[in-house]
C-alpha cells in the first residue's frame, strides 16, 4: 500500500468541550519538529519506535492543555486503524480524567466521546485521502 501525505487537523467536541489535535503520516522526528515550531518549549520523552502516541502538552504562555494523537503511518490498513483507535482511546481516557468524569461504573461518556471523535476523524481522513 502506498504511503500517504502527512495530514494534521483538529476535532472539537461540543458536548464536553474537549478538543483533539491529530497528526498522521509524519515520522516521530518530523512530528517533534512541527510541534516545536508552535510550542518552542515542547518536549516529549517516549519510545521513538512507537507506531502511534497519545500525549498532551501544557503551554504555559496560554495556560492551556493541548491533547495530541499521532500515528506514524496511516494508510487505511487494519493495523493503522487499530493503532489509531488504540491511541484515540488513550486520548479519550485522558480527556475524561482531566474533566473529572472517568468513572468505572458508567462508561457512557467514554462511549459518546469515542463515537464522536471516531466519526469526525474518519470523516476528515476519508475526505483527505479518498477524494
* Nearest-10 Cα torsion for 32, 33, 38, 44: 20
Q: What is the pLDDT of residues 20-42, one digit of tens each?
A: 999 999 999 999 999 999 999 89
The mean pLDDT value for 77-103 works out to 90
Q: Give the residues across from 68 on adjacent strands.
A: 21, 55
Residue corresponding to grid cell 518530523: 30
Residue 104: is its pLDDT beyond 70? no
| DSSP secondary structure letters along 78-115 | HHHHHHHHHHHHHHHHHHHHHTT--BTTB-HHHHHHHH
pLDDT score of 1? 61
Q: What is the pLDDT of residues 106-121, one digit of tens each?
A: 688 888 999 999 999 9
**53 touches 104 (CB < 8 A):** no
The mean pLDDT value for 44-67 works out to 88
Reported as type and span, the H/E element at residue 73 is: none
The mean pLDDT value for 9-15 works out to 95
pLDDT score of 49? 87
Whole-model pTM: value is 0.86
Amino acid at each position: 500500500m502506498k504511503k500517504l501525505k502527512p495530514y494534521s487537523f483538529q476535532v472539537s467536541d461540543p458536548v464536553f468541550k474537549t478538543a483533539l489535535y491529530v497528526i498522521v503520516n509524519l515520522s516521530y522526528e518530523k512530528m517533534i519538529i512541527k510541534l516545536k515550531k508552535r510550542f518552542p518549549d515542547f518536549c516529549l520523552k517516549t519510545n521513538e519506535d512507537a507506531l502511534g502516541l497519545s500525549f498532551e502538552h501544557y503551554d504555559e504562555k496560554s495556560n492551556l492543555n493541548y491533547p495530541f494523537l499521532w500515528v506514524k503511518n496511516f494508510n487505511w490498513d487494519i493495523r493503522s486503524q487499530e493503532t489509531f483507535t488504540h491511541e484515540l482511546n488513550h486520548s479519550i481516557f485522558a480527556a475524561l480524567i482531566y474533566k473529572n468524569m472517568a468513572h468505572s461504573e458508567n462508561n457512557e461518556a467514554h462511549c459518546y466521546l469515542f463515537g464522536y471523535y471516531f466519526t469526525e476523524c474518519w470523516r476528515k481522513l476519508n475526505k483527505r485521502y479518498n477524494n
